[in-house]
Amino acid sequence: MQSEWKMDTKIIHESQSPDPRTGAISQSVIPAVAYAFPDAETAASVVAGEAEGVYYGRYGNPTSRTLEKKIAALEGAEDALGVSSGMAAISIALLGFLKHGDHVLVTKDVYGGTYNFLTSLAPRFGIECDFVDCTDTAGMLQAIKPNTKAVYIETPSNPKLTILDIKQITQACKLHKLPVIVDNTFMSPCLQKPLELGADVVVHSATKYINGHGDVLAGFVVGSKEVIRFMRKRLMGDLGQNLNAWDSFLILRGMKTMALRVERHCRNAQTVAEYLEAHPYIERVFYPGLESHPQHKLALAQMKGMGGIVSFEVKGGITEGKKLINSLKLAMISFSLGDPETLVQHPASMTHASIPQKERVQFGITDGLIRVSVGLEDVHDIIADFDQALAALFPYTERNSISK
């Protein structure tokens, strides 16, 4: 690892060099399942993890290994594990620390897929969870049980963009010998380094900003060599959640522009958030780059940028919210985020539909909440699209009263 390189350089060059045989600069795609060894002793060493190498496709491949080393370097970790999706990364990270009879504390403002795994599948393994307000570290600690074995947080959270104090939470958890897992998907390694702030494991849905082109499903778990070795062999490999060589190649290619993409996402999102906050038809905007955000100062201290996601509530509620996104012409209704295109969705009926309404409201996910993944288009075109959709939202006779 070239530790003296800056982030933008590492993204392009870390763990990659021209092919020694052909001189090709582009990464080779090696989709092999089986690998030959010069002798039985070498094969045994690789299988035991005593020597570097790949021995069977379910446990990785050379193309994916290049990508894993790059991700580990960008996050400042000893190692990383590439897996088949963001949910594979989340489930592997949790199962790496939890077994039958264990309990995990989870931030209450969490991605719907994570909630669904913890409330539907994890109980079948005998794993318990409690969703707590992790903005209150003292209150979070009070929720610790004798069988609590891990703490799982998202920051910024999906979809409310709640910012959690990673350093404060991890310092408190270390006193209780609890590992902290941080979902860093919304930030990417460009904008936030949870491990530097004390986290034990970082997870990413690489489907989003790391790949950035909407054509790959992938995830990463990042942490110590010991933790990653266990997860690779006993979880990813044994359960068959491996990342394939072609998708690894696409991510390596897509990552070369990640610094530029993330910078543009942040700049466009800030402009869109400011526009929405000033609009008379918008009730409230959630974006850490706004001074009105409750954790704005923490965001400035903890993050290098405010990200590309903006959430907001339209005046009137769910009917008006759905009418708004149905009226957009440039932005597209979609479940994903982090793509070049601007994508919008209604969390209560889409990404967070698995959470019962009563709990959604407790978590702050109202029926009128809209999430926008601000894309790479010219920001004036993005705003013009929202402007025309908002203008058509209310009858002319209602506009003056709403604007007041």
Query: Which residues have a catalytic role annotated?
Result: 58, 111, 183, 208
Through-space distance between the first and last CA atoms of the chain, rounded to whole angstroms? 58
- How far apart, in whole angstroms, are the C-alpha atoms of residue 342 and residue 340? 7
- How far apart, in whole angstroms, are the C-alpha atoms of residue 66 and residue 248? 9
Distance of CA 299 to the CA centre of its chain: 16
